[in-house]
Every structure is written in structure tokens, then in C-alpha cells.
Amino acid sequence: MKKILLASILFLSFQSNPAFALLRLGIEGGLSMAKIDVGPTSTTTYNNRTGLSAGALLEIGFGNWSVNGEALYIQKGAVSPGIIPTVDTTYKFDYFEIPVTLKYTFGTPIVKPFIFAGGYFGFRAKAESQVGTNTPTDLSTGYKSSDMGLTFGGGLEIAFTPATSIFANGRYDLGLTNILDSPTTTTTIKNKAVVLMVGLIFGI
């Protein structure tokens, strides 16, 4: 009986006291609408490359605040349009990405809007270009093997239990690294992307 009473007290304290950390795991996936920012000047037009983004997350929560760490596979890059669509050149820069963000949640116990901001570090998984449906050309020797930048956004969480929810979020990734690996040119190429994802998160 004493063990049951002690367990109940600990459970109620955990629910009411934000000093206790709430650990949650989640899975998420969605779309990445990416583009490259070429500087200082460029005469080439670049459109969005639409790709996929998916992975897992760990959240450490303290009341309304939490720290989120994610492990994502994300497809970035851009499309340079040709005279006709069949000769568009697609630049494919895919990464294993680790975003770490600070998140603030508000609203009701069931409907919880949130905002977040932080940074990311990415390990390149692919770097290639493809003209139309031709065989892709490997670009790994001309581009850096890593990327880093800022990420920020917001979303909405719908709770089934105090620890289990479905969620949707949108974020903007702003690359800070010049991914072009060429010491003989002043040209810079940086990733940027709008990422939309949905997911499930649950307590552990």
C-alpha cells in the first residue's frame, strides 16, 4: 500500500511540477521545398526542388519550455529551368541533419500551438546534378561534406493524453555554410528550405 501511495505522489508531482523533465520520443515526416542562394551575383534562375524530409525526435520538456533534438534525412537543392521542362537541371543535395531547437508551447492542455528556434548541422548524403532524365552527375568532389545553419518555425499539437500527441509544424532552414568547395572562386552557395511535417510524439 505504501508503495502504491508513493508512486501516486510521484506521478502527481510529475504532472504538476514543471521542475520534472518530461521525456518524449516522436516520428515525423513531410515535404521540403528547397532552393540554393548563389552569391554575390548570379545570372541563373533557381526554382524550388520539392523533396522529402523524415526522421525521429527526442523532446526534453520543462513546463511550457522544451529542448528538441531531431535526426532527419532531408532532400535539399534547387532546379534550374531549361527552355523546355524536359531539360531542367536538378541539383540534389541530400543530408542527414541534426536540428537542436528551443520550443515554447502555449494554449490549452489539448490544443497546443508552439514556436521554436535553433540551429542544425548536416552531413551530406548526396551531391549530384541531373539534366532532364539523363544519368546524374556526381558533385561530391566540388561541394562540402557538411552544412550548418539556423532553423525556426511553429506548429500545432493535438494531445490525446498529457504525453501523447499528433502535431504539424512548418520551419525555415537558413543555411550559413558556403557548401561550394572551391578556393579559386568568390561564388558562394548556401542552402535554404521551407519544411512542412506531421508526426506523432509520445512519452517514455
User: 61-96, pLDDT tens digit by residue?
Assistant: 999 999 999 999 999 999 999 877 668 999 999 999
Average pLDDT on 159-173 reads 95
Q: Is 14 contained in some domain?
A: no
Burial class (CB in 10 A: 0-12, 13-18, 19+), 6: exposed
pLDDT of residue 5: 41
- 29 pLDDT band, cuts 50/70/90, is very high
Q: Of 78, 29, 35, 31, nearest to 56 (Cα)?
A: 29
pLDDT of residue 6: 44
Q: Is 4 contained in some domain?
A: no
Q: State which residues form the domain around 97.
A: 19-203
Q: Is 28 contained in some domain?
A: yes
Average pLDDT on 14-20 reads 49
Q: Which CATH number goes with the domain that contains 163?
A: 2.40.160.20
Domain count, the chain: 1
User: 144-164, pLDDT tens digit by residue?
Assistant: 999 999 999 999 999 999 889
Q: Is 8 contained in some domain?
A: no
pLDDT of residue 77: 97
pTM: 0.86
Distance CA 130, CA 37 (A): 19
Distance CA 101, CA 95 (A): 18
Average pLDDT on 6-33 reads 69
Distance CA 168, CA 94 (A): 22
